[in-house]
Structure 1
């Protein structure tokens, strides 16, 4: 009887250990991320079809376009459909989103996108509360029109300058808190949250329902950030080789409202770094 109890106890320990090991072995980032067209901007401008062939071979099935690259939305959509790639987000300039909302919406819908994204608030000098207030009013207006008339979701993509201090937080906090959640969502660019001193994982935990899209990118080791919203493109490095805590960010993202992840690599080394980034994401477990 005693021997049987020992055997049962040992079996139970083995089962628990196996379960823990299996749990730790689960992929942290299952599947393949999408791609921001800006990463391949030069080759897309020269030959969109050949570039999409390259992306298809990398296993990319989702795109965020930030330009039409001299084509119509319908022409690009045809190329995407032929390769089994979808476009989930369409990035445009702030003035176009505000003044050409219907045209932007029609292009987004033709591409098949559900999101329209703006990545820069035009400004000079330090970003101020007055600038933030104007953006908040404009974003609410753009988002309402896109949602009510076109069933599209508007997203603002942070770029670093919004981390100017304001009250107990930053102007980025202020923009998130003052925009209407019904009409305005956000795209978290993790480099441009980290560069000005923010913590991307903390942002996702603080505002889990506001972020719908994410740009995956990493910052070269040794580079110091600031509030300029700019850094040399050579400072973009393959995920896992820079300063950002990618596993912590992805763990926070799993508990948030993120729907689409996109690789963005602005560096001249993107052709070698993108495959590195994809391999790194596939290697992560928890």
Structure 2
């Protein structure tokens, strides 16, 4: 592990010439902190060797976007050292698909899914698909709608559903699957309807799956299990993200969300991959360690 931490620092300091010195310093601190994994008996790195989980623990890389911007190889090395096996990408940071594939292989990681904005699909669905196939993705996830993309009225979501069916069909033909990731705004009533329900009901279940973000479901005061019952097998991906008492982000397992009953309904939901995520965190290393630990316990 000491060699690992040393290599992380070396990768960052000698191989990357970045303009933002503050980002470099933050990354070095996190890289050096990894050295402590070997010296802490109760650390997650130790637990990674001891815990036997029936399913792989995944991480959404948006959590580490600042680190990814500094060094993708070093960041993925750190993630693998914590114990994660699956990743969901949120940008490739100017790396070619072949480069990403090689990094993943070298670290013993897979990337079942990636977040792909609608604007990227606008540039060419085939281009997106070809890149995804080369990396080794299985799912392409629409992650977010800007205020402009949301527009007004429910017709915006009806048209989006039509578009998703077209993109989803192209993905299916290539052996991929399209999915949609929710926030809270999909549960704001428009013209007497919930946009989320429109997307579920007006897209073909065989052409678009759903990635359920559990934090945003609770933020919108929605019941994940109720949706599992209404649309069994539809929720192939989850974001496992916790909430503190003030309604803000928290490390998984330290907040107010009771994940156990939700995980107990995994078969009903159809989930195949679960990703730890925290949108904003002051201690990235602690966040991914705690997330790994909590998810491992839930899957044990």
The bucket for the TM-score relative to the shorter chain is: 0.7 to 0.9
| 1:117-132 alignment, distance < 5 Å | 117-124=141-148, 128-132=153-157
Q: Secondary structure at the match of 1:261?
A: strand
1:106 Cα offset (Å): 0.9
1:98 Cα offset (Å): 4.0
Partners in 2 of 1:247 and 1:37 — Cα distance? 24
How many pairs were matched up?
248
Q: Does the alignment pair 1:190 with 2:214?
A: yes
Q: Secondary structure at the match of 1:255?
A: helix
Partners in 2 of 1:242 and 1:169 — Cα distance? 31
Q: 1:158 corresponds to which residue?
A: 182
Of 258, 263, 266, which residue of structure 2 is paired with 1:245?
258
Q: Deviations over 1:136-175 (max 9, x none)?
A: 1111111011112x11100011111110236886221121
Q: Secondary structure at the match of 1:147?
A: helix
Q: Deviations over 1:83-134 (max 9, x none)?
A: 1101111211112124411111011111100111111123347753111112
On the 8 A contact 1:239/1:246 being kept in 2, the answer is no
Q: Does the alignment pair 1:143 with 2:168?
A: yes
1:76 Cα offset (Å): 0.9
TM-score by length of 1: 0.80
Partners in 1 of 2:120 and 2:272 — Cα distance? 24
**Structure 1, 266-275 or 101-110: larger mean CA deviation:** 266-275
Partners in 2 of 1:37 and 1:281 — Cα distance? 16
Structure 1 unmatched ranges of 5 or more: 1-26, 224-234
| 1:1-286 alignment, distance < 5 Å | 30-124=54-148, 128-148=153-173, 150-165=174-189, 170-223=194-247, 235-268=248-281, 269-284=283-298
Change (3 A) 1:191 1:128: farther
Structure 2 unmatched ranges of 5 or more: 1-50
Q: Deviations over 1:157-204 (max 9, x none)?
A: 111111023688622112101111121111111111111121122222
Change (3 A) 1:126 1:99: closer
Partners in 1 of 2:88 and 2:94 — Cα distance? 16
**Structure 1, 153-162 or 97-106: larger mean CA deviation:** 97-106
Structure whose alpha-carbon radius of gyration is higher: 1
Q: Secondary structure at the match of 1:211?
A: coil
**Structure 1, 236-245 or 67-76: larger mean CA deviation:** 236-245
On the 8 A contact 1:90/1:116 being kept in 2, the answer is yes
1:30 Cα offset (Å): 3.5
Partners in 2 of 1:170 and 1:280 — Cα distance? 32
Q: Deviations over 1:228-282 (max 9, x none)?
A: xxxxxxx321122222221111112233211111111122223212211222233
Change (3 A) 1:86 1:282: closer
On the 8 A contact 1:32/1:59 being kept in 2, the answer is no
Partners in 2 of 1:91 and 1:126 — Cα distance? 21
Partners in 2 of 1:57 and 1:133 — Cα distance? 44
